[in-house]
Amino acid sequence: MKKFDIIVIGGGHAGIEAACAGANMHCSVALITMDKFAIGRMSCNPAIGGTAKGHLVREIDALGGVMGKIADRTGIQFRMLNKSKGPAVWSPRCQSDRKLYSQEACKLIVSTTNLDIIEANVIEILSENKKVLGIKTSDGEIIFCSALVLSSGTFLNGLMHTGLKSTVGGRFGENAANGITQSLINLGFESSRLKTGTPPRLKKDSINWEKLEEQPGDEFPQPFSFQTEKKQFPFQRQVSCHITYTDENVHKILEKGFSQSPMFTGIIKGVGPRYCPSIEDKIVRFADKKQHQLFLEPEGLDSDQIYLNGFSSSLPAEIQLEALHKIKGLEDVIMIRPGYAVEYDFFPPHQVDLTLETKLIEGLYFAGQINGTSGYEEAAAQGIVAGINAAAKIKHLPELILKRSEAYIGVLIDDLVNKSTDEPYRMFTSRAEHRLLLRQDNADARLMKYGNKYGLIPKDLYQETVRREKLIINGVELFNNIKIHARDINAFLVTKESAEIDSTETISKLCKRPELSLKEIIKINGTENIPLVQELNDDKIALEKIEIELKYEGYINRQQEMVERLERYESAKIPLTLNYSTIKALSAEGREKLNKVKPRSIGQASRISGVTPSDISILLVYLKS
Amino acid sequence: MFTDDTIVALATPNGSGAISVIRMSGSNSFSAIDKIFVGKKRISEANTHTIHYGKILDGEKNLIDDVLVSVFRCPNSYTGEDSVEISTHGNPLISKKIIEALTDLNVRLAEPGEFTKRAFLNNKLDLSQAEAVADIISARTDVSLKGARNQLDGILSTKVRELRDMLINASSFVELELDFAEENVEFINQDQLLKKIEIIIFEINTLLTTFSFGKIIKDGINVALVGPPNVGKSSLLNYIVKESRAIVSDIPGTTRDVIREEVSINGILFRLHDTAGIRLSKDELENIGIRRSQQTVIDADVVILIGDVFTGIPLELVEKINGLNANKKIIRVINKIDLESNLKPVADIYISVLNGVGINLLFNKLVQISNGSNVYSEKSAVVTSLRHFDCLKNAKESLLNGILSIKNKISGEFIAVDLRNAANSLSEIIGEVTSDDILNNIFMKFCIGK
């Protein structure tokens, strides 16, 4: 009889994080996949990070996850997005070598102790008395476990569409997973369908590159991981992406295929992501737009394939090819594989708790696309939370629930649980109401304490972070107190076209002026000779963070105050056993939603869609009974 | 115990009565009351469960009212926080002024049910109380649904929703640039964004100005009748209310007190105050009356300056009233036009109380002048609640901050904070705004998805 502490089903980005977190927390873990060579395979674009997604990767890394490390080792172009904006919305992104990424992920899994890979096709989830027992494979084998993380991506009853042809499968060339959905429905779960799509892959040599606009990476690339040695980075040769556009001729050709579109003819029932529409969808919805931007992204350093970002399509292959030939630079292009749409089962996420454990079956966790999200980073973020919580439950450690004011991961899971979703959910910075506090550069300060608590972060790295945080606090305090005299600084201010001061001004106040940098101000009048400032000069990261804190202090404080004001509602707990049906005064919809979600706090209850402010008042009052 | 912000609200029904009670709760309750209360003892030094007599002064040190302040120290209060209850004379104007004085001191208006919320959060409510309060809360919702001002409220929330949608629209342009920088979408330029926000501010301002009219709907208009003795002020009042309450005689200076009558003209409540003739008298009793008259003029929204065909309207009287309050709305009326006179005095309205001539003209003028430039129609939104007024004011302030940030070319995520705060303030009137609203707007309007 095989028994593991934790079974993880699926070797995608969620599964990898869950399996590694569980194993590194000293649980015995089995990662079950239908194809062990598909571990860490990037199903869609060969890229990690992006706006808000880059934040997620940094947070996963601060918790002790692996996505950032793998991305750093296999990235072939690194860019910090939004660099022209304030630091809160800077987002790291990289192009990855698709093959290397998967190899590196596989290597990491294999080298992790306590972690076994099992190649099998799971057909049933087993449980007893609302508690998970294990799984059954298509060979009839039963494997037992204390906790189960289900991260099956697009594979549950996966159905791929190109034109009016549909093929059973979860990803090009791979089988679908059938059976799991039905076994969960039998246990009382509610499932629904979603759709996502991917663009055609093109042959590199057949593209007229000289006609295209080049988009190089950053001159000084930054790694994702707090643990990546800067000296070795970047590990791979760096390459460029290219940009081209569709035009009205292209659109006309695509329109010819609409009668054979699985989307428009109603063959596809699942809801697709609005922020990542297919090219045919864009033409219909934005008919007045005469061109659409397309990115040609390299699939890898020695790959002969190019990924055409922005041209996701499920039109017939011959229409896709005909349209491609009308695009500048793609006149002679060879299409290696057409774009396709894939439909799959997901389980509306109000069925999981903030720990990602399902409310119906104890010990069963859902992570990734099964919860209705899209994107590698969103999946990985859930994977690490599910993995940590599964292991924490086994080891009797406190559960991990991140607050909305603490992490994008907290926003992600809170949104899923409270608002559920009926389309693929993607992270955006605008989803985070405390955005200014959740910077990618301070993910370590925000979250490494948890990584440390669960033993997923090296001790010395954590101590280094703690030391730096202290240094930052002391630095801010110091600069609040050091005053500079007018006679010492006015000449400098004139050179910076900055208003002169009358008598004295603190360094903090001076630093708030956009035209002045902290580095320059501390050069004035021997400030640099103060021992603490010398220490800061040796730790550029700390100095940079202090500068951000000082420059945006007013805004940061205002957000902080808002967090504190809301905190009391977050800390007003609701017992999970509360039966809302007995509270007559609640609105009918509020009662139904509260019964479904079973919020943990008044704050969480107030975010559930359909629960009104007066429901909350009634709840507050009722709870004292 | 929560040590953060302090809240205030009227605890008794908004209307006239023997007394009104204002409740304030939070850690700053005592320091705030001490700033406006003058009594034998500072409230911050008073014992819990004691009552203190004193005066409440406004920001300019003018007396608002004589009050009793009850002190409840944490945790022995309804909310479990430091609290005071201020008992005032039962006039909604007084309570409104006191609440305004407090909100100027970093105390904010309580949201509906918030005292109870705090009481609950501080573990102060037991079962029976809780159930009672729950009943009250739900009952209030029902009443407000069926209430007489349902229509007005509906119109206001429609208007606020419209503003919120405009704001969400403006926000989505800011967010678009932050979340979709890599996409090939056209971003809004600074001038366009400023324009969008300025339009919203303009609309909010329009709503804010209706508050004075909203107050009229709720509280009525105070009208002072002022004029030299014996020109027929009391006769006019009597005529209007068709009731002989004021003493009418030929001897100058008969009216020694302020006589008040309430009448409804075109559905608007007018509170008419007949004053003692404003002049100097050797009669002590009459002088007291004169002082009261002056106070009546100060408090009035509209002054009817009345003279007759013999006296005209004495210039010094106009100056005196302007001296009391320069921005008063004044209607100049000449009475006794049934009598022959050589004078041809200048006025707005000419009447004869004796024959009832010109009174309708006076009514029309009253209605017109009290509306100011706001021609009230049943279709336009009117702000009648101080809480709504406050929300709108906060929204406007956030938007002005936003404009400043845009002009200073500060990055979008900071502007977004101001716009979000403004949206939150508006949503306090009508309900929640989520980031989903903004994203929905983005997906609806822009071609996203590379």
Q: Looking at residue A601, what is its pLDDT? A: 92
H helices of A420-458, where?
443-453
Strand ordering across the sheet containing A47-49:
A47-49, A91-96, A75-81
Q: How many CB pairs under 8 A join A and B?
A: 143
Which residues of chain A have a CB within 8 Å of the CB of B431? 612-613
Judgement on whether residues A465 and A437 belong to the same structural domain of the protein = no
- How far is it, in rounded angstroms, from Cα A605 to Cα A295? 42
Q: Which residue on chain B is closest to A284 by alpha carbon?
A: B447
Which residues of chain A have a CB within 8 Å of the CB of B157? none
Whether B247 shows a pLDDT value over 50: the answer reads no
Q: Given B121, B125, B443, which is nearest A572 (Cβ)? A: B121
Residues whose CB falls within 8 Å of the CB of residue B286, separated by 6 or more in sequence, listed in order: B253, B256, B276
Which residues of chain B have a CB within 8 Å of the CB of A617? 112-113, 116-117, 137
Establish if A367 belongs to a structural domain: yes
Judgement on whether residues B195 and B223 belong to the same structural domain of the protein = no
Number of domain units in chain B: 3
Establish if A562 belongs to a structural domain: no
Establish if B144 belongs to a structural domain: no
Note the pLDDT tens digit of each residue in A469-506.
999 999 999 999 999 999 999 999 999 999 999 999 99
- Domain C-terminal end among B350, B371, B392: B371
Judgement on whether residues A231 and A263 belong to the same structural domain of the protein = yes
Judgement on whether residues A408 and A470 belong to the same structural domain of the protein = no
- Asked whether the beta carbons of residue A430 and residue B448 sit closer than 8 angstroms, the reply is no
What is the percent of chain B where pLDDT is above 70?
71
Q: Which residue on chain B is closest to A436 by alpha carbon?
A: B413
Choose from B142, B414, B443 for mutation: most chain A CBs within 10 A: B414
Note the pLDDT tens digit of each residue in B308-349.
988 888 888 888 777 776 667 889 999 998 888 777 788 889
Judgement on whether residues B287 and B356 belong to the same structural domain of the protein = yes
- Domain C-terminal end among B371, B394, B415: B371
Q: Looking at residue B253, what is its pLDDT? A: 52
- Domain C-terminal end among B329, B352, B371: B371
Give how far B124 is from chain A: nearest CA, Å: 9
Establish if B391 belongs to a structural domain: yes
Distance of CA B353 to the CA centre of its chain: 34
Judgement on whether residues B273 and B365 belong to the same structural domain of the protein = yes
Mean of the per-residue pLDDT values for chain A?
Answer: 93
Average pLDDT, integer, range B105-117? 78
- Asked whether the beta carbons of residue B116 and residue A617 sit closer than 8 angstroms, the reply is yes
Which residues of chain B have a CB within 8 Å of the CB of A432? 435
- How far is it, in rounded angstroms, from Cα A218 to Cα A234? 11
Judgement on whether residues A187 and A207 belong to the same structural domain of the protein = no
Report the 10 Å Cβ neighbour count for A530: 13
Number of domain units in chain A: 4
Give how far B440 is from chain A: nearest CA, Å: 9
Q: Looking at residue B125, what is its pLDDT? A: 55
CATH number, position B77: 3.30.1360.120
Q: Which residue on chain B is closest to A292 by alpha carbon?
A: B184
Q: Given B2, B138, B411, which is nearest A85 (Cβ)? A: B411
- Asked whether the beta carbons of residue A51 and residue B113 sit closer than 8 angstroms, the reply is no
Higher confidence at residue B329 or residue A143?
A: A143
Nearest CA among B121, B20, B25, B39 for reference residue B73? B25
Establish if B315 belongs to a structural domain: yes
Judgement on whether residues A431 and A315 belong to the same structural domain of the protein = no
* Residue B344 burial (10 A CB sphere; 0-12, 13-18, 19+): exposed
B214 pLDDT band, cuts 50/70/90, is low
Q: Given B127, B438, B449, which is nearest A276 (Cβ)? A: B449
Which residues of chain A have a CB within 8 Å of the CB of B142? none
Establish if B273 belongs to a structural domain: yes
CATH number, position A106: 3.50.50.60
Of A344-358, A522-536, B158-172, B305-319, where does the model show the most confidence?
Answer: A344-358
Judgement on whether residues A373 and A433 belong to the same structural domain of the protein = yes
- Domain C-terminal end among A321, A340, A359: A340
Of A287-291, B139-143, B389-393, give the lowest mean pLDDT range. Answer: B139-143
Strands B329-335 and B302-308: parallel
Choose from B413, B425, B438, B448 for mutation: most chain A CBs within 10 A: B413
- Asked whether the beta carbons of residue B133 and residue A277 sit closer than 8 angstroms, the reply is no
- Domain C-terminal end among A528, A556, A584: A556
**A344 φ, ψ to 5°?**
-155, 165
SS3 per residue for A551-604: HCHHHHHHHHHHHHHHHHHHHCECCCCCCHHHCCCCCHHHHHHHHHHCCCEHHH
What residues does A537 pair with on adjacent strands?
A: none
The CA-CA-CA angle for residues A607, A609, A613, to 5°, reads 65
Q: Looking at residue B48, what is its pLDDT? A: 94
- How far is it, in rounded angstroms, from Cα A330 to Cα A245? 10
Judgement on whether residues B335 and B362 belong to the same structural domain of the protein = yes
Which residues of chain B have a CB within 8 Å of the CB of A609? 434
Judgement on whether residues A215 and A258 belong to the same structural domain of the protein = yes
H helices of B220-255, where?
233-241
Judgement on whether residues A239 and A169 belong to the same structural domain of the protein = no
Establish if B1 belongs to a structural domain: no
DSSP assignment of B89-102: ES-HHHHHHHHHHH
Sign of the C-alpha dihedral computed for residues A382, A383, A388 and A389 taken in this order = positive
**A81 φ, ψ to 5°?**
-75, 160
Q: Looking at residue B444, what is its pLDDT? A: 59
Average pLDDT, integer, range B67-80? 91
- Asked whether the beta carbons of residue A559 and residue B417 sit closer than 8 angstroms, the reply is yes
Mapped onto helix, strand or coil, the DSSP state of residue A523 is coil
CATH number, position B413: 1.20.120.430
Judgement on whether residues A479 and A353 belong to the same structural domain of the protein = no
- Asked whether the beta carbons of residue A274 and residue B443 sit closer than 8 angstroms, the reply is yes
Whole-complex ipTM = 0.83
SS3 per residue for A33-48: ECCHHHCCCCCCCCEE
Of A139-148, A517-526, B251-260, B400-409, where does the model show the most confidence?
Answer: A139-148
Which residues of chain A have a CB within 8 Å of the CB of B422? none
B371 pLDDT band, cuts 50/70/90, is low
Higher confidence at residue B396 or residue B75?
A: B396
Q: For residues A456 and A385, is the Cβ–Cβ distance under 8 A?
A: no
Choose from B182, B185, B410, B436 for mutation: most chain A CBs within 10 A: B182
Q: Looking at residue A137, what is its pLDDT? A: 96
CATH number, position A513: 1.10.10.1800
Mean of the per-residue pLDDT values for chain B?
Answer: 77
- Asked whether the beta carbons of residue B447 and residue A572 sit closer than 8 angstroms, the reply is no
- Asked whether the beta carbons of residue A89 and residue B180 sit closer than 8 angstroms, the reply is no
Q: Looking at residue B143, what is its pLDDT? A: 30
Judgement on whether residues A373 and A297 belong to the same structural domain of the protein = no
Q: Given A293, A430, A552, which is nearest B450 (Cβ)? A: A293
Which residues of chain A have a CB within 8 Å of the CB of B118? none
Judgement on whether residues B177 and B225 belong to the same structural domain of the protein = no
Choose from A573, A618, A620, A623 for mutation: most chain B CBs within 10 A: A620
At A100, list the tokens. 């290397």
Judgement on whether residues A166 and A23 belong to the same structural domain of the protein = yes
Domain carrying residue A587: 572-622
- Asked whether the beta carbons of residue A624 and residue B125 sit closer than 8 angstroms, the reply is yes
A614 pLDDT band, cuts 50/70/90, is low
Mapped onto helix, strand or coil, the DSSP state of residue A364 is strand
Domain carrying residue B298: 219-371
Q: Which residue on chain A is closest to B402 by alpha carbon?
A: A555
Consecutive H or E run containing A431:
none
Note the pLDDT tens digit of each residue in B2-40.
346 899 998 887 777 889 999 999 999 999 999 999 999
Note the pLDDT tens digit of each residue in A56-104.
999 999 999 999 999 999 999 999 999 989 999 999 999 999 999 999 9
Whether A525 shows a pLDDT value over 50: the answer reads yes
- Asked whether the beta carbons of residue A50 and residue B182 sit closer than 8 angstroms, the reply is yes
Whether B141 shows a pLDDT value over 60: the answer reads no
- Domain C-terminal end among A506, A521, A556: A556
Judgement on whether residues B227 and B347 belong to the same structural domain of the protein = yes
Establish if B257 belongs to a structural domain: yes
Higher confidence at residue B249 or residue B7?
A: B7
Establish if B24 belongs to a structural domain: yes
Which residues of chain A have a CB within 8 Å of the CB of B448? 274-277
Judgement on whether residues B352 and B410 belong to the same structural domain of the protein = no
Judgement on whether residues A523 and A611 belong to the same structural domain of the protein = no
Judgement on whether residues B229 and B300 belong to the same structural domain of the protein = yes
Give how far A22 is from chain B: nearest CA, Å: 33
Judgement on whether residues B201 and B288 belong to the same structural domain of the protein = no
Establish if A165 belongs to a structural domain: yes
Give how far A347 is from chain B: nearest CA, Å: 21
- Asked whether the beta carbons of residue A275 and residue B412 sit closer than 8 angstroms, the reply is no
Choose from A294, A309, A621 for mutation: most chain B CBs within 10 A: A621
Judgement on whether residues B199 and B261 belong to the same structural domain of the protein = no
Establish if B130 belongs to a structural domain: no
Give how far B8 is from chain A: nearest CA, Å: 17
Which residues of chain B have a CB within 8 Å of the CB of A559? 417
Judgement on whether residues B53 and B73 belong to the same structural domain of the protein = yes
CATH number, position A617: 1.10.150.570
- How far is it, in rounded angstroms, from Cα A485 to Cα A501? 8
Judgement on whether residues B200 and B267 belong to the same structural domain of the protein = no
Which residues of chain B have a CB within 8 Å of the CB of A428? 175, 179, 435, 439
Whether B420 shows a pLDDT value over 70: the answer reads yes
Whether B152 shows a pLDDT value over 60: the answer reads no
- How far is it, in rounded angstroms, from Cα B298 to Cα B176? 53
B278 pLDDT band, cuts 50/70/90, is low
Q: Given B179, B412, B420, which is nearest A51 (Cβ)? A: B179
CATH number, position A211: 2.40.30.260
Establish if A567 belongs to a structural domain: no
Give how far B1 is from chain A: nearest CA, Å: 10
**A228 to each of A19, A312, A406, B286, B306, how far by Cα in Å?**
21, 34, 23, 91, 88
Of A99-108, A240-249, B162-171, give the lowest mean pLDDT range. Answer: B162-171
